[in-house]
Structure 1
């Protein structure tokens, strides 16, 4: 069993807790994601802003889908 398999197993055991935490604290999580994105954009001189924004949206999307509902991050555009 490789590292990623162990990580998936460990996360799977706590997925419900993670989904509950995202439900309860999505505003704070969103703020942290945005601050991290802004800091990285500033440190790279704005060269990778588009990529950072896309990555931040993907993180929000994955966290939002933990509970099977897309309702925690309204800023994420849904198709």
Structure 2
């Protein structure tokens, strides 16, 4: 038995407990995520609202998956999509990233990276 198998065997019961807690306290967790998002959005004066909303949606989606919400068994085949956060997609500018060589360096005519 390999190391990964040992870790999986020991974490199996913990996953069940966490899943059970997520199911029982789902409303409290959802409320806490919303409240935290509101506080952060207020402190940043709305500057990062779209990112906060996106992160909150992803956190709620992960919590739903953990609680096995909407799980119809192994035959369902896959994961559930994240919930719609109500955000909008940025407009498509038609630009693509410049090609990179095998060494990972951009071509000499490529614009500098933005962060």
Q: After TM superposition, is the score higher than 0.5? A: yes
Unaligned runs of 5+ in 2: 1-6, 72-82, 85-115
Which residue number in structure 2 is paired with residue 39 of structure 1?
39
Larger RCO, structures 1/2 (Cα 8 Å, 6+ apart): 1
Which residue number in structure 1 is paired with residue 77 of structure 2?
none
Are 1:52 and 2:52 counterparts? yes
Whose radius of gyration is greater, 1 or 2? 2
Which residue number in structure 2 is paired with residue 4 of structure 1?
none
> Matches of 1:48 and 1:11 in 2, distance apart?
36
Unaligned runs of 5+ in 1: 1-7
CA contact (8 A) 2:19 2:67 kept: yes
| Corresponding residue SS for 2:47 | coil
Following superposition, the deviation at residue 13 of structure 1 comes to 4.8
Alignment TM-score, normalising by the size of structure 2: 0.50
What count of residue pairs does the alignment treat as equivalent? 67
Q: Superposition RMSD on alpha carbons, in Å?
A: 2.5
Which residue number in structure 2 is paired with residue 18 of structure 1?
18
The structure richer in helix per residue is: 1
Following superposition, the deviation at residue 67 of structure 1 comes to 4.1
CA contact (8 A) 1:41 1:52 kept: yes
CA contact (8 A) 2:19 2:68 kept: no
